Structure 1
Amino acid sequence: MLVSITEYLVKYYAGFHVFSYMKFRSIASVLTAFFLSICISPSMIVYLQKMSLGQIIRNDGPKSHFKKQGTPTMGGFIIVISIIISVLMWAYLSKYVWCVLFVIFSYSIIGFIDDYRKITLKTTKGLIARWKYFWQSVVALVVSFIIYRISKGTLTIDLIFVSCKSIIPQLMSLLSILISYFVIVGTSNAVNLTDGLDGLVIIPTIFVASGMGLLAWIKSNIYFATYFNIPYFCDASELVIVCAAIVGAGVGFLWFNTYPAQIFMGDIGSLALGGALGTIAVLLHEEFLLVIMGGMFVVETLSVILQVGSFQLFGKRIFRMAPIHHHYELKGWPETTVIVRFWIISFMFILISLVILEVR
């Protein structure tokens, strides 16, 4: 929006050209989202406290969590609104950008309904699982079809291994849409599962958004794309602005979400952020690299799958509690220790993904 206005102002003063530079707009996007998040949060915390919109704690969870009962939740609204405003201000609104914004907005609504039901019904269940998954699926399928169409009828998925580089297939249209669907829904739910401790999920999200932003920047530059031997996408440049907004909003929210948290993001934030990361990965054709970058989310999700599968098949639990971050809490790790160590692991996954990008 703002960059479109400056196109007219350039006629009167050439200095306004700076607003069209991607580096400038990326930095501006980070700062705008950050300051919006920082400015909105205090008022939001006070409002949520007045409305008694506090977190409901699981009875079977770690005892240390009981003191968090009533902490304001649904703080993901702060992240979502900061991202959307920042992107609208600093990005050229291409089809790629609209796809991500649509997912963020739609998934935040699903998350809001889920959070609101938890609070009003005084339960940790929230929205019925099948309905939650149904609406996630509807949004993901719509976006996957749109992405398929704007990709001119084909989606190419870059495989991780170098040995596969020469035989990358052009996937059938249906398979392409299904893979995109699973990536978007899967990432959204994986981020949601990871959101269990103060600040635990936001730093890995910032790391992954930073990694995806770097990928978008490389792919939108024909020289860098040639050097790394990866496909060139001129439209990917605006996804850098989106990733920058996610980073800025996330850092601003972390100011109040770090231990001991003054506010939780709730499903309104985790579902939207996860859906956004999945959509960006699909648009960049980096679905498999997302699995490496978001390795922390994968580990958390696998711990739940293994726990449920083991209990249903053998009547035994693998972990003391799933997701796995609760397992380490019940083993006696302080919450801050679990959080920081998981942050470190997440950072290692980002480094591994960048090595894979270099050598593949």
Structure 2
Amino acid sequence: MLVYLFEYLEEQFNWPGAGLFQYISFRSGAAILLSLIISMVFGGRIISSLKRLQVGETVRDLGLEGQKEKEGTPTMGGFIIILSILVPCLLFAKLDNIYIITMLVTTLWMTAIGFADDYIKVFRKNKQGLKGTFKIVGQVGLGLIVALIMLLSSDVKVRLTAEEARNGSYEIVEEFSVDMRQQNGELYTQEYAYVRTTLTNIPFIKGNVFKYESLVGLFTENAAKWAWIIFIP
């Protein structure tokens, strides 16, 4: 959210230093710093508060040495991690970015599952927590949502060289060029293109690029149309 505030300040008032928020390196560094501050400075206070509220682990007495020492250990300490992720992200990221949106949805979805599990364990005194069936359904459902976003969203693009994009007959969304410098110091222009495709980068294979449609292509000529069968699972 701070990105939009400082963009406004720079445009309207030419605020000194506001332009720094345009650079992802500055915002990344600031987000890391804030995340550390939240986890290190406020983490202890959150744990103390959870102990005071008696939000802790219940241990069955099995007669094991040191077993009872674990009783009262806060089970919702993951709250610190959630704050360390969400607060810096909401403050320093551009919230119209599809990857940021996907990450936030994923984080909140898994937080809900974890909270439900801890709530059942702590307040309902059920050591089993949330049933495994619900956990699996929740995780599979989330995986399906993320896969559909990656497959269908027009904002999810892959960057290739313009030559690779044309030779591969990809759906080109945007073409652009970047001035680059060779080892001998000479400048040259490299053309790139953003394309819509189901390929992904995997090490240890030729070119580090894996095309999902190549598997479907073994069974049908119209591989691009049916690539989702492999991509989504």
TM-score, normalisation: structure 1: 0.45
**Paired residue secondary structure (2:232):** helix
Q: How does 1:188-337 map to 2 (within 5 A)?
A: none
Q: Which has the higher strand share?
A: 2
Match of 1:108 in 2: 111
Measured in 2, the distance between the counterparts of 1:127 and 1:84 equals: 24
Higher relative contact order (CA 8 A, sep 6+): 1
Match of 2:5 in 1: 5
Measured in 2, the distance between the counterparts of 1:149 and 1:84 equals: 25
The answer as to 2:232 corresponding to 1:177 is yes
Q: How does 1:119-158 map to 2 (within 5 A)?
A: 119-150=122-153, 151=156, 154-158=197-201
Deviation at 1:117, TM superposition (A): 0.8
Contact 1:154 1:176 in 2 (8 A): no
Deviation at 1:64, TM superposition (A): 4.4
Contact 2:202 2:208 in 1 (8 A): no
* Structure 1: gaps of 5 or more residues: 179-360
Contact 2:2 2:91 in 1 (8 A): yes
Measured in 2, the distance between the counterparts of 1:51 and 1:77 equals: 14
* Structure 2: gaps of 5 or more residues: 158-195, 214-226
Match of 2:207 in 1: 165
Deviation at 1:60, TM superposition (A): 7.6
Contact 2:198 2:211 in 1 (8 A): no
Greater Cα radius of gyration, structure 1 or 2? 2
Deviation at 1:137, TM superposition (A): 1.6
Q: Relative to structure 1, is the Cα distance of residues 27 and 66 closer, same or farther in structure 2, using a 3 angstrom cutoff? A: same
What RMSD, in angstroms, separates the aligned Cα atoms of the two structures?
A: 2.5
**Percent sequence identity over matched residues?**
32
Contact 2:199 2:209 in 1 (8 A): no
2:92 aligned partner, one-letter code: W
Per-residue CA deviation, residues 126-185 of structure 1 (Å, 9 max, x unaligned), is 0010011112222221122112112366421223214x338732431121111xxxxxxx
Deviation at 1:66, TM superposition (A): 3.9
Measured in 2, the distance between the counterparts of 1:54 and 1:119 equals: 7
Per-residue CA deviation, residues 180-207 of structure 1 (Å, 9 max, x unaligned), is xxxxxxxxxxxxxxxxxxxxxxxxxxxx
Deviation at 1:58, TM superposition (A): 6.8
Per-residue CA deviation, residues 192-231 of structure 1 (Å, 9 max, x unaligned), is xxxxxxxxxxxxxxxxxxxxxxxxxxxxxxxxxxxxxxxx
1:110 aligned partner, one-letter code: I
